[in-house]
Structure 1
Amino acid sequence: MSSKSSLQSSLLATALVLGGTALASSAAAATPGRTEFEILMNGKPVGKHIVTVSRNADMTNVRIAIDMAGKIGPIGFTYRHRCEEAWRGNQLTSLNCSDQENRSNKAVAANLRGANLVVDGTGFKGNAPATILPSSWWRFSTINQSRLLDSRDGKLSRVNVNRVGEEVLQIGGTPVRANHYRVRGAVNTDLWYDSTGRWVRTAFKIAGQSFDYRKVTSVANSPRE
């Protein structure tokens, strides 16, 4: 694969994972649920992104799966991401992710130890602040962060997020009011959350291609913090 095609594929993988009115973070546990997005490239389906949140006693468990395959011009790509997060209230206690982009493999594990998350990733090994959040975007409070733990390889990524405004999205034939946010940092990504903080859309451009997340599950059954 050429260096240009490798860069395009890498940027695409970054966008998929990094995506994502401020709502105050609280100590309450997240609301369980499942959200599924169909990933469109230039209007054509190329994959899925699924987030499932469940509760077990005082712990919140999160499973994330992204699968995608397609072409950017003549260049084919495949992408597979799996991640598990464990939370106690709004505190991330552990994370374990694997990332496969064509033939390139990345991974990260993180565990809470006192005031730090101990990170062991292909992109970073060391301590991160216990308050840092992963780049999975299902939690609304992620948009209030200036640094994120990259769920692909453990790097600490700097981001800037600005609110664009309120829009009405059509989800399953139903109009949904959503707040639109623009993320700038490792990639340029736009994210939408409804008034309760549920993630309802993502859009970005990579290598001249337009990608859009179309929600295929109901908003009411989606997880939120």
Structure 2
Amino acid sequence: MSSKSALQLYILASTLVLGSTAVTSSATAATTPGRTEFEILMNGKPVGKHIVTVSKSADITNVRVAIDMAGKIGPISFSYRHRCEEAWRGNQLTSLNCSDQENRSNKSVAANLRGANIVVDGTGFKGNAPAAILPSSWWRVSTINQSRLLDSRDGKLSRVNVNRVGEEVLQIGGANVRANHYRVRGAVNTDLWYDGTGRWVRTAFKIAGQSFDYRKVTSVASSPSE
């Protein structure tokens, strides 16, 4: 496997990112603060963590995303670090600031709401995006209703197609959790699970022949939702 393939392991992290759904979010829905943490497994072995913390201050919702991952595929070592801050007013993204490091490759994006557009300044794209676009940070269940996403790594506008696979029962913290399973294909390829209230509970994908799975280590009840 090439070093380029290893560096692409975390194209899905801000996971870095949907058809019909049994869970929807209205334009006036209130965001529920909380914290969710996933242990990232590669072929069943722990290689990192993905943490999302959502808090509210007056009418602004603040989101912090932290992803750290390191491991080896054969003789090739890889490391990944992602930090991102989002600000929302209701269900409207007002700003985004992210930095991303894959081994020695650095990426970043800053985006701000200006009138009817999100003005994007990223290493992968500079220009205007529709104000309604969502970032590829996965924690919002309305991501599954999108055909384009703002890549939280570098600002690219990624086209995706999402289909609902069905309802499944997941084991989380020793409890059975009913979750809706969605398959994302296009510029990003991943599978996502949200429970009946729209809380993100699992992610799984394959890159360079390796299987990655997110195992939730915090309670579902403490997780944020939009």
- TM class by shorter chain equals over 0.9
The match for 1:139 is 140
The match for 1:126 is 127
Q: TM-score, normalised by structure 1?
A: 0.96
User: 4+ residue stretches of structure 1 with deviation over 4 A?
Assistant: none
Provide Cα deviations, 1:130-178, integer angstroms capped at 9, x if missing partner: 0000000000001100000000000000000000000000000000000
Partners of 2:47 and 2:54 in 1: CA distance: 24
Aligned length: 222
How far 1:29 sits from its partner (Å)? 3.1
Distance 1:82 1:19, change over 3 A: closer
The match for 2:45 is 44
Equivalences for residues 48-127 of structure 1 within 5 A: 48-127=49-128
How far 1:18 sits from its partner (Å)? 3.9
Contact 2:202 2:216 in 1 (8 A): yes
Amino acid at match of 2:118: L
How far 1:182 sits from its partner (Å)? 0.4
Equivalences for residues 1-225 of structure 1 within 5 A: 4-10=2-8, 12-18=9-15, 21-225=22-226
How far 1:19 sits from its partner (Å)? 5.7
Partners of 1:115 and 1:182 in 2: CA distance: 30
RMSD: 1.2
Distance 1:205 1:74, change over 3 A: same
Contact 1:29 1:88 in 2 (8 A): no
Partners of 1:26 and 1:222 in 2: CA distance: 20
Partners of 1:194 and 1:36 in 2: CA distance: 15
Partners of 1:181 and 1:151 in 2: CA distance: 20
Q: Secondary structure at the match of 2:3?
A: helix
Q: TM-score, normalised by structure 2?
A: 0.95
Out of 92-101 and 20-29, give the one that drifted further: 20-29
Partners of 1:193 and 1:218 in 2: CA distance: 14
Fraction of identical pairs, as percent:
83
Distance 1:42 1:17, change over 3 A: same
Partners of 2:69 and 2:161 in 1: CA distance: 27
